[in-house]
Structure 1
Amino acid sequence: MQTKQRKRWKISTVILLILFIVISIFALFPLVAITLASFKPSKEILRFGLNLSLQPEVLSFDNYAFIFSGASEYFIWYKNSILITIISTILCLLLSCMVGYGLAVYDFKFKNLIFGMVLVVMMVPVEIIMLPLYKLTMNLGLMDTLIGAFLPFIVAPIPIFFFRQYAAGLPRDLLDAARVDGSTELGIFFKVMMPLMAPAFSSMAILQALASWNNFLWPLIVLKSSDKLTLPIGLSTLLTPYGNNYDVLIAGSVLAIIPILIVFIFFQRYFIEGMTAGGVKG
């Protein structure tokens, strides 16, 4: 019986391995195709589209040379996106974690009502609240500023819900022990609970950084000056009725993948653990 079970286990493992390899190939195809296209001139891309064909006679570094030459404002957009992503991700993780932690650990009046409101906001599309957010940003004098591009989203319902679920599963004995030792509530949060929530922070850091980096609609509404644009908006300006610079656009898109790839590699160790624990605890 054990021999048959081992054979079945080996066969199922091989089948799963082959399945994952096939899925990985399909997942990597767009990335490889767009990387190859970044070395081709625009006319080749328009003629043949994205493909895996290697044509040494048409491949060159001209697209990247144009970007690095400073002829466009690409790296200004790049810097703006990095600043917005870093600041908004850090603030969103910190503030959302504090709200979620408070909803999970403390008992106070209207606690369930507040949590219910968080759940309701999760189900409201962002486009519905664009107009009031626009009016609020205008009244605060934050139009065409980098702060206005991320300020309305530094406390988000999904991270609040996630941190609340994760914090609900943390041992309460640590809270009591820290209080006996004379630690303040802020001290307990920063010194005791936050280290225990490292997997949750890693998971949310990847998701929030990705959302902030790729955010297009709200910065498009708020930002007007060319030197204030983020990378997605700046790249979209390369496509105009007077000329479609697909070659430069694709090369810029390839470089835009690098920061998110670095974030994922840095935090992926805790990503699965944090997503699993946050989904089942509480």
Structure 2
Amino acid sequence: MKNKHSKNKGIMILVNISFIIISIIALFPILGLILSSFRPSSELMRNGISLTFNLSTLNLDNYVYIFTKASQYWTWYGNSLIISVITIVLSLFFSSMVGYALAVYDFRGKNFFFVLVLFILMVPFEILMLPLYQLMISMQLIDSYAAVMLPAIVAPIAVFFFRQYALGLPKELMDAARIDGSTEYGIFFKIMLPLMTPSLAAMAILQGLNSWNNFLWPLIVLRSNDMFTLPIGLATLLTPYGNNYDVLIAGSVMTIIPIIILFIFFQRYFVSGLTVGGVKG
């Protein structure tokens, strides 16, 4: 028994060491990006992004330029923040309601709607882009925040995730609340939604990451430079006529900050939310 315990402990140590090594390797590109953000743009054009550096050439000029002269960059940053925050809030609100309804209520067409969610989940977004684009034109929403946010407000992956999580919620609490005279909305918002906090936190991180990094759909529906999100705005800095590395590299580093903050706030719920939501049903 003792030998078996020692063997299992040794395996866990090897697994942990392997994960640490993989994590360090995965951090190399980020480390190279951060180091490059302190280099002069002329050196970046000659040597590109790398882990090698010369202490004598490192400076804060790129960040000073962003905070003092690159006003357009902060317009893009603000656009991305507004779109991401609103998308996260609306997506969690509507997707959790839909997933909860599919999990706890019995109504005509329930299985059909769930199969429809699964079907849409399996369809690549590239196939849906043209009809969505035509829909945005007909609704006169092109070059607006709404055009970027609407397709993500009720995401199939979020509906499926919340449905799986809600299947494990105790139905006895619903019955007790009904006996006390609570409405169905009251049961959801006051009792069930607080119990879904881990799933909400996990999905907030995933939806926030998708919205913040979204490039293709905003590129299609946004027209004016003042409406661009960060991924599109930074991409415009790379042209055949010149590359503005002063903003591009340091600006790319700044884009990591909101995602790190989001993960710090919700990290304690993240693993439990994904684990429970993935095994229920």
Superposition TM-score tier, normalisation by shorter sequence: over 0.9
**Structure 2 match to 1:41:** 40
Give 2:26's aligned residue. 27
2:278 counterpart residue number: 279
Aligned to 1:17: 16
Partner of 1:205: 204
Is residue 267 of structure 1 aligned with residue 245 of structure 2?
A: no
**How many Å apart are 1:133 and its aligned residue?**
1.1
- Alpha-carbon displacement from aligned partner over 1:92-122 (angstroms, at most 9, x marks no partner): 1110110000000100111100100000000
Q: In the alignment, what sits opposite 1:143? A: 142
CA shift at 1:21, angstroms? 2.0
Deviations, residues 37-72 of structure 1 (Å, cap 9, x unaligned): 011123322333322223122211111111111334
Once structures 1 and 2 are overlaid, which stretch shifts more, 78-87 or 246-255?
Answer: 246-255
Q: Distance in 2 between matches of 1:140 and 1:79?
A: 24
Name structure 2 gaps, 5 residues minimum: none
Contact 1:45–1:247 under 8 Å retained in 2:
no
- Give the alignment's Cα RMSD to 1 decimal: 1.3
Query: Where in structure 2 are the equivalents of 1:120-159 lying within 5 Å?
Result: 120-159=119-158
User: What residue number does 1:166 align with?
Assistant: 165
Q: Does the Cα contact within 8 Å between 2:39 and 2:58 map onto a contact in 1?
A: yes
User: What does residue 249 of structure 2 align with?
Assistant: 250
Give the Cα separation in 1 of the matches to 2:128 and 2:15: 44
Question: Distance in 2 between the 1:178 and 1:117 partners?
Answer: 31
The one-letter amino acid of 1:238's match is L
AA partner of residue 150 (structure 2): L
8 Å Cα contact 1:37/1:247 also seen in 2: no
* Cα drift, residue 223 of structure 1: 1.1
- How far residue 6 of structure 1 moved from its aligned partner, in angstroms, is 4.0
Determine helix, strand or coil for the equivalent of 2:70: coil
Query: CA offsets, 1:247-281, max 9 Å, x none?
Result: 42111010000000100111110111111111110
2:103–2:163 contact (8 Å) kept in structure 1: yes
Where does residue 174 of structure 2 map in the other structure?
Answer: 175
Render the CA deviation track for 1:184-216: whole Å, top value 9, x for unaligned. Answer: 000000000000001100110000000000111
| Amino acid paired to 1:79 | G
Superposed counterparts of 1:86-105, under 5 Å: 86-105=85-104
Aligned in 2, Cα 1:70/1:44: closer, same or farther, shift over 3 Å? closer
How many angstroms apart in 1 are the aligned matches of 2:124 and 2:5? Answer: 49
What is the Cα deviation at residue 145 of structure 1? 1.0
Distance (whole Å) between structure 2 residues aligned to residue 124 and residue 36 of structure 1: 40
Question: What residue number does 1:115 align with?
Answer: 114
Asked whether the 8 Å contact 2:208–2:259 carries over to 1, the reply is yes
The CA deviation at 1:177 is 0.4
Per-residue Cα deviation, 1:122-165 (whole angstroms, up to 9, x for no partner): 01111111111111111212111112211122111000000000
SS in 1 for 2:107: coil
Distance in 2 (CA, whole Å) between partners of 1:119 and 1:10 is: 40
Give TM-score scaled by structure 1 length: 0.96
Q: Which one-letter code corresponds to 2:257 in the other structure?
A: I
2:192 aligns with 193
Amino acid aligned to 1:226: N
TM-score by length of 2: 0.96
